[in-house]
Amino acid sequence: MAQYCGAMATRVDLLDLPAVSPRALRSQKDRAEQLQELRDLAQASWLAKGDIGYTILKYEDVVAMLRDKRWHSAVGLIVELNPDITPEFRARRRESILSAEGDTHVRLRRLVAPAFSPRNADALRPFMREVMNDLLNNVTESGSSDFALDICNPYPIPIICELLGAPRSDWELFSRWASDILRVFDNNLKNDIPLIIAAQDELDAYTRDLITARRKSPKDDLLSSLISAEEQGDKLSNDELVMMVEAVIIGGTDTTRNQLGLAVALLANHPEEWQLVAKQPEHAQRLIEEVMRINGAVRATGRFASQDIEYKDILFPQGTLIFPSLATGNFDGDVFNDPEQLLTNRTESHSPQLTFGSGIHYCLGASLARAELQEALPLIAARMPHIEISGPVRYKVATAGIYGPDSLPVTFTPTPPLIS
C-alpha cells in the first residue's frame, strides 16, 4: 500500500517507474543507444529509476530541480560512495565551491564571481588564439592528426596557467597535476589514491607559494583578483584560495578538452558548418551553443535531497539521489524543434542549452569555456579544411557525467604552419 506525505505526495521509492539500463559508454554508439533509451523513456515519464538514484529526463524538470536550493550538489557524495575510498583520503577532503551549499556557497560565489566575468575571459582571447595556433603548427602540414591527443589534451592547461599567473615553465607541472587530481572521478580509485594525494600536496604547496608572491606583488591575473576580492570586510582565506585553484583545474581542464573533441567529431559530419565558421569566425558563437546542446561533454549532474522534498506530488525523502540528465533535456522535443538537427538559427532563446547546468551551481567558468571554444573552432576549421574522421573514435568511459573522445583520428587538406 502506498505511503503518502500530506494529502497527495507519494514516496518516490513506491512508484512503478521505468528503469535506466546500466551501460559503459565506451563508444559513440553506446552513447547514442543510451540517449535514445532515455529519450524513449521521456515519452512516458519525466522520471526514471537508476542503480543508485533517479534520472530526471525532461527539460522543464531538470531546470526546476537544479534551481531548487533544497537539492544539494552530490559531487562530494558521489566520490564518498566509492567503496575504494580510504579513511586517509576521506579525512583530506575539504569543502569546495563545486559542492558547497547554503550561506557558504553564497559567500564564496559572491566573492569570486567578479573574477570569472565575461570581460576577464575576453581579455584572454588573444592568448587562446596564440595557444591554438602553436598547437596547430605541429600538425597542419601533415594532413592528419589524432585530434584528441594533439590538440584537445594540451589546449586548456596553458590558458589556466595564464589565468592564474603561472609561468610557461610550469605548464608541464600543471598538466600532470590536473591529470592526477582528475583520477578521483575514474574507476580505479584504489590504485590512484597515492597519485591523487601527491598531486594535491604538490599543487597546494605551489599555490601557497604563489599566494605569498601575489600578496607581496599583485599582478593582472585571477589569483591576484581573488586575493583582493572583498565585500564588507570579508575576504578569502589562504585555504579558500588554494581550494579555488584546485576547483579551476578540476572544472576547467577535462570539460574543455572533451567539449572541443566532441565539437570536432560532430562538425566533421557537417562540412557546410565547418566551412562557414572558417570564413566567418563570429559564427562560432551560435555554433558552439548548438554543438553543446547536441553533443555536450557534461551529460548529467548529481544532486541529493537535503530534506524531504515534494515535487509534482512525489515525495523525495531526505538523502535521495537524483541525476538531472542534461543530455536528455537538451534533446527535449517539447522545448527544441527537430532536436536531432544541428540548427544554428534556432529561435528557442528562452530555453538555453543545459550543458553548463542551471541554478546556483551554474558553471562558474562558463564565460571562459565559451571563449576557449569560440576562439579555437574558427582557427581549427580554417587550418584543417575538409576535415574527415579517418578511423575509429575511442571514447573515454564517462565519469562524473563527463564524456568525450580519448582518440579522434582525422585527415584534412594540409596547410602550412603560421610564422609569427
Q: What is the pLDDT of residues 347-364, one digit of tens each?
A: 876 789 999 999 999 999
Cα(404)–Cα(261) distance, integer angstroms: 7
Q: Using pLDDT thresholds of 50, 70 and 90, give the confidence band for residue 396.
A: confident
The pLDDT assigned to 219 comes to 93
Q: Give me the domain span that covers residue 143.
A: 4-411
The pLDDT assigned to 399 comes to 59
Cα(290)–Cα(342) distance, integer angstroms: 6
Please name the helix (run of DSSP H) or strand (run of DSSP E) that holds residue 288, with its range, or none.
helix 284-294
pLDDT tens by residue, 6-64: 557 999 999 999 998 876 656 667 777 888 898 889 888 999 998 889 999 999 999 99
Q: Using pLDDT thresholds of 50, 70 and 90, give the confidence band for residue 371.
A: very high
CATH number at residue 81: 1.10.630.10
Q: Would you say residue 348 lies in a domain?
A: yes
The pLDDT assigned to 93 comes to 76
Is the pLDDT at 401 greater than 70, yes or no? Answer: no
Is the pLDDT at 4 greater than 70, yes or no? Answer: no
Residue pair 408/266 in contact by the 8 Å Cβ criterion: no
Cα(420)–Cα(413) distance, integer angstroms: 22
The pLDDT assigned to 3 comes to 40
Roughly how many angstroms between the first and final C-alpha of the chain, as a whole number? 74
Angle 284-294/254-267 helices, nearest 10 degrees?
100
The pLDDT assigned to 25 comes to 58
Q: Would you say residue 33 lies in a domain?
A: yes
Q: Would you say residue 171 lies in a domain?
A: yes
Residue pair 121/160 in contact by the 8 Å Cβ criterion: no
Q: Using pLDDT thresholds of 50, 70 and 90, give the confidence band for residue 166.
A: very high
Q: Using pLDDT thresholds of 50, 70 and 90, give the confidence band for residue 2.
A: very low
Is the pLDDT at 310 greater than 90, yes or no? Answer: yes
Q: Using pLDDT thresholds of 50, 70 and 90, give the confidence band for residue 1.
A: very low
- In this prediction, residues 299-306 reach a mean pLDDT of 93
Of 191, 172, 192, 173, the C-alpha closest to 182 is 192
- In this prediction, residues 271-278 reach a mean pLDDT of 98
- In this prediction, residues 399-405 reach a mean pLDDT of 77
- SS3 letters across 186-237: CCCHHHHHHHHHHHHHHHHHHHHHHHHHHHHCCCCCHHHHHHHCEECCEECC
Of 14, 66, 59, 22, the C-alpha closest to 359 is 66
Mean pLDDT of the chain: 90
- In this prediction, residues 217-245 reach a mean pLDDT of 89
Q: Using pLDDT thresholds of 50, 70 and 90, give the confidence band for residue 400.
A: low
Q: Which residue has the cell 591523487?
A: 196
- In this prediction, residues 254-261 reach a mean pLDDT of 95
Of 86, 106, 105, the C-alpha closest to 97 is 105
Q: Would you say residue 200 lies in a domain?
A: yes
The pLDDT assigned to 75 comes to 80
The pLDDT assigned to 322 comes to 97
The pLDDT assigned to 389 comes to 98
Sequence-distant (≥ 6) Cβ neighbours of residue 157 within 8 angstroms: 171, 174, 175, 178, 253
- In this prediction, residues 61-72 reach a mean pLDDT of 97
Q: Would you say residue 420 lies in a domain?
A: no
Cα(68)–Cα(63) distance, integer angstroms: 9
Cα(186)–Cα(32) distance, integer angstroms: 22
pLDDT tens by residue, 195-213: 999 999 999 999 999 999 9
Q: Would you say residue 418 lies in a domain?
A: no
Q: Would you say residue 384 lies in a domain?
A: yes
Q: Can you state the percent helix, strand and coil of the chain, rounding each to 5?
A: 50, 10, 35
Q: Where are the alpha helices (DSSP H) in 138-188?
A: 147, 156-164, 171-181
Of the CA atoms within 13 Å of residue 301, those in its CB half-sphere come to 25
Residue pair 129/155 in contact by the 8 Å Cβ criterion: no
Number of domains in the chain: 1
| Amino acid code (one letter) for 134 | D
Residue pair 245/200 in contact by the 8 Å Cβ criterion: no
Q: What is the largest CA-CA distance in the chain?
A: 75
The pLDDT assigned to 27 comes to 63
Please name the helix (run of DSSP H) or strand (run of DSSP E) that holds residue 321, with its range, or none.
strand 321-324
